[in-house]
DNA sequence: TTAATAAAGGATAAAAAGGTCTTTATATAC
DNA sequence: GTATATAAAGACCTTTTTATCCTTTATTAA
């Protein structure tokens, strides 16, 4: 088990792919996306459908349709993808699974785990969906395997 | 989904409980442990059985038997519990699920995610199983709910 | 208006995680 | 030895996650 679910891993990869492939208002189809980020096509379709319903990405049906990102969407943090797919437990939950864990009623790991959580949250909220576009176009960053 | 699996969350809580309850060579039974850390009893039994087989904790059957920790076990890092139950993907895996992700073939998050991972790994390898015993005895730290 | 295209939606299946129960093995006390 | 207490082991069951497939709906273009 990684930090994020498979659903979320696939989602992040797909959204970053869509971001750098559609800067010009064009759209990209599920087949191409799934191949490019190496995920099961119909499972990814469900995930993108979900992200589209939640407004993280945009989509249009029919010929020349597909998935794309409106310009403002490129400024959104990656954390939005995670929250949409996995919820925000990973950013706020107790490391040992205690629901009542807090400053007043801390678990043994509370203080230290909070630092890690916060660093993860900070990283995912300051990183935007669009910020890797140049490097993805250059091919210096990978989205598959 | 949190950072660790339920199995692992339960395991950590149980081991810390055993640690502070058995410093004098005594043992503690599954019933008491499960109640104290608020987990399903027979599921926790499986988890402790696994940790015992792997040498993270010790156990003895029969009357006055139960789970306990040999003195050296108290010095082991919490990371050992995580590795035994969840493997070490959480400490070393790619944030986006790429198996080939590396310095030479990095995913977009590689550099930043590595910092988070390393902080988590550092925290869990420098924290020992026995280090919370005093506070647990005092009752200033919580292991349930 | 029709045909083609592509995502949305729904039903289902397979695999993994989470959880329960019963039996067996082992240690202790009498 | 016998009875008893306790963890180990194994067989199950349930829920969630991961995954597939088929039908419907929306859009476009001819």
Q: Is the CB of B36 under 7 A from strand D?
A: no
Residue nearest to nucleotide C29 (CA to C1'): B63
- Is A7 in contact with A47 (CB distance < 8 Å)? yes
Tokens read off for B63: 């009357």
> Cβ contact (<8 Å) for B113 and A123?
yes
- Is A20 in contact with A35 (CB distance < 8 Å)? no
User: How do residues B30-61 score in pLDDT, each as one tens digit?
Assistant: 999 999 999 999 999 999 999 999 999 999 99
d(CA A58, C1' D3) / Å: 71
Residue of B nearest to A16 (CA): B108
* Lowest-confidence segment of A19-28, A32-41, B49-58, B107-116 by average pLDDT: A19-28
At residue A1, the pLDDT reads: 77
At residue B11, the pLDDT reads: 98
Backbone angles phi, psi at A66, to 5 degrees: 145, -165
For helices B41-53 and B30-37, angle between their N-to-C axes, nearest 10 degrees: 110
Q: Is the CB of B97 under 7 A from strand D?
A: no
Rounded mean pLDDT of chain A? 97
- Residue A113 has a CB neighbour count (10 Å cut-off) of 22
Q: What is the mean pLDDT of residues A115-135?
A: 98
Backbone angles phi, psi at A78, to 5 degrees: -60, -25
> Cβ contact (<8 Å) for A142 and B94?
no
| Domain ranges (residues) in chain B | 6-138
| B-contacting residues in A 71-100 (Cβ below 8 Å) | 78, 86-87, 89-90, 93-100
> Cβ contact (<8 Å) for A98 and B127?
no
Q: What is the mean pLDDT of residues B65-85?
A: 97
- Is B134 in contact with A110 (CB distance < 8 Å)? no
Query: CATH fold of A6-138, please?
Result: Arc Repressor Mutant, subunit A (1.10.10)
Residue A26 has pLDDT above 80, yes or no: yes
Q: What percent of chain B has pLDDT over 90?
A: 97
Check residue A51 and report its DSSP letter: H
- Residue A20 has a CB neighbour count (10 Å cut-off) of 22
Q: Residue A105's closest CA among B105, B142, B108?
A: B142
User: How do residues A67-105 score in pLDDT, each as one tens digit?
Assistant: 999 999 999 999 999 999 999 999 999 999 999 999 999
Please indicate if any CB of chain A lies within 8 Å of the CB of B126.
no
Residue B23 has pLDDT above 90, yes or no: no
Q: Residue B23's closest CA among B136, B127, B143, B125?
A: B136
**Alpha-carbon distance B92 to B102, whole Å?**
11
Residues 6+ apart with CB under 8 A from A53: none
At residue A138, the pLDDT reads: 97
Please indicate if any CB of chain B lies within 8 Å of the CB of A108.
yes
């Amino acid at each position: 088990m990684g930090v994020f679910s498979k659903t979320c891993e696939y989602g992040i990869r797909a959204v970053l792919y869509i971001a750098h492939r559609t800067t010009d208002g064009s759209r990209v189809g599920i087949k191409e996306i799934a191949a490019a980020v190496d995920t099961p096509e119909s499972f990814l379709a469900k995930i993108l459908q979900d992200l589209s319903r939640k407004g993280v990405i945009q989509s249009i049906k029919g010929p020349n349709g597909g998935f794309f990102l409106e310009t403002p969407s490129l400024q959104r943090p990656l954390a939005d993808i995670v929250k949409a797919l996995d919820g925000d437990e990973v950013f706020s939950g107790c490391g040992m699974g205690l629901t009542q864990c807090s400053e007043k009623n801390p678990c043994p790991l509370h203080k230290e785990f909070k630092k890690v959580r916060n660093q993860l949250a900070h990283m995912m909220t300051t990183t935007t969906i669009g910020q890797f576009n140049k490097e993805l176009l250059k091919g210096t960053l990978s989205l598959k395997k």
